[in-house]
């Protein structure tokens, strides 16, 4: 064009310059030329990938076209997320057909051979073969297989199902609730939509969209962009709300700190009983669960205590100077005992008691609604020795670190609270144990005592609760479950239809239901701070890593959000954007 119509070309360049100067952005411009005359048809802000958005925003800052705050506003959280995970190459993706859709539970992309069991995934990993673990659903026994897999695809489960939580924690590509997946384990085949695959066939997952492909799709890796650091420094300059992480081991904690986490908002001690190195503590936990008398339980707890202490100590050490919120044990007990006769017989033999006796004890744990059963603080009220052990382990870990010259900032959090009496009950134990440990180590331990707010009732009586609790952490997974009356593990099918029928706008376990659950969060904050003006409030449900929810939490006045390590940069960006938007 420059050669054929030099004058019109110059004119077009000038119009482009004026438009871009006016819009302060890169534009997608449409024009036509008729009889040598230039007509401008339309212009709009040009679409771009995450890498391009980052590069352009920082270029425009250098050129003085936009200011720092605008740079922060220029990347969507989804674009930032793109930079953090290997993803399917969008251009190549377009050449393939989506064969099934599920829930986008863990971001990024994965291409690999189908593994139908955790054993197969581990086998592939050992042979350095990329693989996708395809399961009906996952349970704690699959954790090592999930770790070995490059991607995870499940037929059942919602956004807070086991697979989704674990995968998101690792930043691993994961699709759950993909009901087009039909597994025939016996014959080693799986049907996905209309197509049939054998174990070992290659498929591709787009975990950010929830899409499954029948063939290998190309991958790209955008993580090593040095502009990322520069951008995140600007994000933190304008961010007002804190960002913590949900982590329960030194590696994840370090990873999250590298991603900019300012502490741990949720340390789930139950994770010590899953996966690698879990055999020993799990055996002690089983002894505790299956104990028949208080003496038996105390004996099992005494053996468990050093494991809890070491778990807490290792992570407190990594966090040195940053807060760690330890959530008292909240395990669904039945998940930790064997359910098949074969395994129950093996356990009976191991423990030197009869199979009938073991079976009786396991059957006694059965609850019709375990999510509303003996979990959370209820466990500590019914069996105070369980909390006592945890307090002792935590205070000892803190005292040991102090004497070793570290700076532990321990916060202890009581789960599933419904009233202040529960907190008082557990606090009395904490006070006694703390005094004992302080005397033994000759140190003065400072810690914060707080609670999760995850049952609607707790938000209503938050003023009373705040008379004892020094902080609140909203557990929006359970708060959503209890407010909607939706089971977080089985609700997927209902939610899908509800969204299709436009009865609800989105999966409430993924993005906070601001209209309903959001009201409870606001009420909890207001009533809590009415009682204790400096009450620290945060959130540690999965919503802490969802950008739209982060905006809401900022407006609700929370001090911090806590999310999976890989969501930390996204949460930092969403928090900064919320602050800039408010100012504007």
* Catalytic site positions: 162, 540
Question: What is the distance between the alpha carbons of residues 264 and 322, in angstroms, rounded to a whole number?
Answer: 8
Size of the residue set binding Mg ion (CB under 5 A): 3
Binding of Mg ion at residue 411 (CB under 5 A)? no
Task: Single out the segment in contact with ligand PEP by CB under 6 A; choices: 55-63, 396-404, 475-483, 489-497.
Answer: 475-483
Region 469-498 residues binding Mg ion, contact defined as CB under 5 A = 475, 478
Q: Please report, as residue ranges, which positions from 263 to 302 form the binding site for ligand PEP (by CB under 6 A).
A: 266, 268
Cα angle: 473, vertex 474, 475; to 5 degrees: 110
Contacting residue, 77, 518, 524, 541, with ligand PEP by CB under 6 A: 541
Sequence-distant (6+) residues with CB within 8 A of 325 are 244, 263, 264, 265, 266, 267, 411, 412, 413, 450, 471, 473, 540, 562
Under the criterion CB under 6 A, does residue 567 sit at the interface with ligand PEP? no
Smallest distance from the beta carbon of 454 to ligand PEP, in angstroms?
A: 5
* 400 touches Mg ion by CB under 5 A: no
Using CA atoms, how far apart are residues 167 and 33, in angstroms rounded to an integer? Answer: 53
**Given the rule CB under 6 A, which of 110-118, 253-261, 472-480, 551-559 is the region that contacts ligand PEP?**
472-480
Is 540 a binding residue for ligand PEP by CB under 6 A? The answer is yes
25 binds Mg ion, rule: CB under 5 A? no
For residue 495, what are its two tokens?
């939610």
* Number of other residues whose CB lies within 10 A of the CB of residue 360: 11
Task: Please state the closest distance from residue 159 (CB atom) to ligand PEP, in A.
Answer: 11
- 295-310 residues labelled b (16+ CB within 10 A) or e (exposed): eebbebbebbbebbbe
Q: How far is the CB of 165 from ligand PEP (least distance, A)?
A: 7
Contact 124, 150 (CB under 8 A): no
Task: Indicate the residue among 134 and 256 with the shorter CB distance to ligand PEP.
Answer: 256
Under the criterion CB under 6 A, does residue 244 sit at the interface with ligand PEP? no
- Cβ–Cβ under 8 Å, residues 511 and 530: no
From ligand PEP, Mg ion, none, which one binds at residue 266 (CB under 5 to 8 Å depending on kind)?
ligand PEP
Binding mask 327-356 for ligand PEP (x = CB under 6 A): ---x--------------------------
In angstroms, give the least distance from the CB of 333 to Mg ion.
15
**Contact present, 569 and 84 (Cβ < 8 Å):** yes
- Give the separation between CA 397 and CA 412, rounded to whole angstroms: 13
Residue found by looking up tokens 């990347």 in the block? 75
Q: CB of 335: closest distance to ligand PEP in angstroms?
A: 12
Taking CA 292 as the corner, what is the angle to CA 286 and CA 293, rounded to the nearest 5 degrees? 115
Tell me the C-alpha distance between 251 and 327, whole Å.
Answer: 19
Determine which helix (DSSP H) or strand (DSSP E) holds 509, and give its type and residue range. Answer: none
Distances in Å between the Cα of 499 and the Cα atoms of 100, 103, 512, 582 are 18, 12, 14, 30
Distance in Å, CB of 538 to Mg ion, minimum: 14
Is residue 454 a contact residue for ligand PEP (CB under 6 A)? yes
Stretch that binds Mg ion, among 88-96, 286-294, 301-309, 468-476 (CB under 5 A): 468-476
> Residue 477 interacts with ligand PEP (CB under 6 A)?
yes
Q: How many CB atoms lie within 10 A of CB 244?
A: 28
Residues at the site binding Mg ion, with contacts judged by CB under 5 A: 454, 475, 478
Instruction: Tell me which residues touch ligand PEP (CB under 6 A).
Output: 266, 268, 330, 454, 475-478, 540-541
């Amino acid at each position: 064009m420059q050669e054929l119509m030099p004058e019109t070309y110059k004119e077009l360049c000038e119009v482009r310059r004026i438009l871009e100067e006016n819009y302060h952005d890169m534009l997608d411009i449409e024009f036509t030329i008729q009889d040598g005359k230039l007509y401008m048809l339309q212009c709009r802000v040009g679409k771009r990938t995450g890498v391009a958005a980052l590069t352009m925003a920082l270029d425009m800052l250098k050129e003085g076209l936009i200011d720092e705050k605008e740079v922060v506003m220029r990347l969507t959280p989804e674009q930032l997320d793109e930079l953090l995970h290997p993803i399917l190459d969008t251009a190549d993706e377009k050449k393939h057909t989506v064969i099934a859709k599920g829930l986008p539970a863990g971001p990024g992309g994965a291409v690999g051979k189908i593994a139908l069991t955790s054993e197969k995934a581990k086998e592939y990993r050992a042979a350095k073969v990329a693989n996708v673990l395809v399961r009906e659903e996952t349970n704690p026994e699959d954790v090592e297989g999930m770790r070995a897999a490059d991607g995870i695809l499940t037929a059942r489960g919602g956004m807070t199902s086991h697979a989704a939580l674990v995968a998101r924690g690792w930043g691993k590509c994961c699709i759950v609730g993909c009901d087009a997946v039909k597994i025939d384990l016996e014959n080693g085949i799986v049907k996905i939509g209309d197509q049939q695959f054998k174990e070992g066939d290659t498929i591709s997952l787009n975990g950010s969209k929830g899409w499954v492909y029948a063939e290998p799709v190309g991958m790209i890796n955008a993580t090593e962009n040095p502009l990322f650091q520069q951008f995140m420094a600007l994000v933190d300059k304008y961010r007002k709300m804190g960002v913590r992480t949900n982590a329960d081991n030194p590696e994840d904690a370090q990873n999250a700190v590298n991603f900019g986490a300012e502490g741990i908002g949720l340390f789930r001690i139950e994770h010590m009983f899953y996966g690698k190195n879990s055999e020993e503590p799990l055996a002690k936990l089983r002894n505790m669960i299956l104990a028949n008398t208080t003496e038996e339980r105390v004996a099992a707890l005494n053996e468990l205590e050093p494991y809890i202490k070491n778990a807490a100590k290792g992570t407190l050490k990594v966090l040195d100077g940053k807060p760690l919120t330890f959530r008292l044990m909240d395990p669904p007990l039945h998940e930790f005992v064997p359910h098949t006769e074969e395994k129950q017989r093996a356990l009976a033999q191991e423990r030197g008691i009869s199979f009938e006796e073991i079976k009786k004890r396991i059957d006694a744990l059965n609850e019709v609604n375990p999510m509303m059963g003996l979990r959370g603080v209820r466990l500590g009220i019914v069996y105070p020795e369980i909390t006592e052990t945890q307090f002792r382990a935590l205070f000892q870990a803190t005292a040991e670190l102090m004497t070793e010259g570290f700076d532990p900032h321990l916060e202890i959090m009581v789960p599933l609270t419904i009233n202040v009496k529960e907190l008082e009950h557990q606090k009395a134990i904490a006070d006694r144990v703390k005094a004992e440990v302080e005397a033994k180590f000759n140190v003065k331990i400072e810690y914060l005592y707080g609670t999760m707010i995850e049952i609607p009732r707790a938000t209503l009586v938050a003023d009373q609760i705040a008379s004892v609790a020094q902080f609140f952490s909203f557990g929006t997974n359970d708060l959503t479950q209890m407010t909607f009356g939706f089971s977080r593990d089985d609700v997927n099918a209902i939610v899908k239809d509800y969204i299709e029928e436009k009865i609800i706008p989105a999966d409430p376990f993924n993005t906070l239901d601001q209209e309903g659950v959001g009201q409870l969060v606001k009420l909890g904050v207001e009533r809590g701070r009415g009682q204790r003006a400096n009450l620290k409030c945060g959130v540690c449900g999965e919503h802490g890593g969802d950008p739209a929810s982060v905006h809401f939490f900022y407006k609700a006045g929370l001090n911090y959000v806590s999310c999976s390590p890989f969501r930390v940069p996204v949460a930092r960006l969403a928090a900064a954007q919320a602050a800039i938007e408010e100012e504007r």
